Amino acid sequence: MQTQITFLGGAREVGRSAILLESDKHILLDYGIKLDHKTEYPLRIKTKLDAYVLSHAHLDHSGFAPILYSGNYVDAYGTPPTIELTRLLIEDALKISRRNRQKPAFSKGDLRRFERAYKPLDYYSEVDVGDYTISLHDAGHITGSAITLIENRRTDKRLVYTGDFKLEAQTLQKGAEVVKSDILITESTYADREHPDRSALIKSFVEEVKSIIDNNGTALVPVFAVGRAQEILTILYQHNLIDYAVIDGMAKHASEIVMRYPNYSVNESMLLGAMKNVTWIGTERSRKSVTSPAIVVTTAGMLNGGPVLDYILDLNKRSKIFLTGYQLEGTNGRRLLEGKPIVIDNRKYAIKTPVAYYDFSAHAGRSDLFEYVRRSNPEKVICVHGDANVAYNFAESLKLEGFDAVAPQIGESVKIEF
């Protein structure tokens, strides 16, 4: 059947992922926001939807979903942990916009209606929407992250949307499942580079953290609340460093949710061990009581807010900052890496503490992206969720391998037989 796919966001950019499928049924895949200097939203939807599928909790996929419930209703699908983690992240985003005196784009009521419309779907369980069967598969990115498979029962064709995925296993996630497809919509975040070998990376991270501890300093580890925080804590537990670790901010609440869904992690007993032994910081006062040697695991991962900014100004000379993920242009994290002063409440602070960068990415690197496409074996590949040049060049390289590949622009529609 002739189907139109429109890219409402996340096309030749990273952020505000939103993909609309239109045939006799209208299905929306993700509806996220882009958190740059200001919040950017995906294009609005003008048709009535039959289903909304959420790949995972990160705001660049989930952050605008509540607007779909502002006076409307649509059945929403995603894994059980995804809705809980999404609620945590969206409520925090609402809090931040209130603090910055910005008018939020949707209300708490919209968020509640979204939650009520959400039908949790475990990996491999199926739901029918007209002639289409939707199922979710492990994406190996964060807890609950899913690759979406839509099968047309009349034509037997398979459309797969990877969302964010990682093929290689992480400490708490097994690698993504390769799902066979006729049409593959794939992320392309790191299509231009490889990630370092994970076990070598963990080894040098642990060694460097240990040397800071031995020297009576503080290892400050800014993390993304969902995913990275739990990975780092588990690594610290595995290497007998957990007794020095404290966890603060949203990372703490996200970890509590992750622990409630042990079936969505591997090594969940180690995560449990980590959570039992880490020191939980609940108040600003107890934050002040943290003394060296310590390993502070806290948000925000790019240092644009959160308790990490309290800690960073109090570090002693023997301390070090360990960035553990991608630092977006313009963020304090990026400024630190470039040796520039960071900005807190419009004031500039020169940070003298040394900074290390560890690429604990939860995305597939270049060769794994190619490997996924080859093994999924589609007729058509659509490259999304990558910076403009990266997504474009990825599609061009796939063409050289004989795939019919495109990297659409925002607002563009692609027509397919599905």
Report the residue number, 60 or 138, with the smaller CB distance to Zn ion.
60
Percent composition of the chain: helix, strand, coil (DSSP 3-state, to 5) = 30, 25, 45
Whats the size of the chain, residue-wise? 418
Mention every residue, 6+ apart, whose C-beta is less than 8 A from residue 300.
Answer: 222, 224, 225, 249, 306, 308
Report the residue number, 151 or 187, with the smaller CB distance to Zn ion.
187
Q: How far is the CB of 211 from Zn ion (least distance, A)?
A: 32
Report the residue number, 164 or 231, with the smaller CB distance to Zn ion.
164
Surface-to-core class of residue 120, CB atoms within 10 Å of its CB (0-12 exposed, 13-18 middle, 19+ buried): middle
Q: Say whether residue 248 binds Zn ion (CB under 5 A).
A: no
Of the listed pieces 54-62, 68-76, 209-217, 349-357, which binds Zn ion according to CB under 5 A? 54-62
Q: Say whether residue 113 binds Zn ion (CB under 5 A).
A: no
Of the listed pieces 114-122, 158-166, 178-186, 243-251, which binds Zn ion according to CB under 5 A? 158-166
Q: Say whether residue 58 binds Zn ion (CB under 5 A).
A: yes
At 16, list the tokens: 């505000």
Residue with tokens 């670790």: 245
Q: How far is the CB of 32 from Zn ion (least distance, A)?
A: 7
Q: Say whether residue 363 binds Zn ion (CB under 5 A).
A: no
Q: Say whether residue 335 binds Zn ion (CB under 5 A).
A: no
Q: How far is the CB of 251 from Zn ion (least distance, A)?
A: 16
Of the listed pieces 60-68, 108-116, 117-125, 246-254, which binds Zn ion according to CB under 5 A? 60-68
Q: Which residues pair with 27 in a beta bridge?
A: 21, 51
Q: What one-character DSSP code corresponds to residue 106?
A: S
Q: How far is the CB of 56 from Zn ion (least distance, A)?
A: 6
Report the residue number, 81 or 217, with the smaller CB distance to Zn ion.
81
User: Which of 164, 182, 231, 248 forms a contact with Zn ion (CB under 5 A)?
Assistant: 164
Phi-psi region of 249 (alpha: psi -120 to 50; beta: other; left: phi over 0): left
Q: How far is the CB of 209 from Zn ion (least distance, A)?
A: 25
CA distance 159 to 25: 14
Beta strand 183-187 pairing with 380-384:
parallel
Q: How far is the CB of 174 from Zn ion (least distance, A)?
A: 17
Q: Which residues pair with 132 in a beta bridge?
A: 129, 152
User: Which of 13, 30, 60, 248 forms a contact with Zn ion (CB under 5 A)?
Assistant: 60
Inter-CA distances, 418 with 59, 131, 157, Å? 29, 11, 6
Query: How big is the CA angle at 312 (ends 314 and 361), to the nearest 5 degrees?
Result: 150
Report the residue number, 34 or 287, with the smaller CB distance to Zn ion.
34
Q: Say whether residue 26 binds Zn ion (CB under 5 A).
A: no
**Contact residues for Zn ion, defined by CB under 5 A:** 58, 60, 164
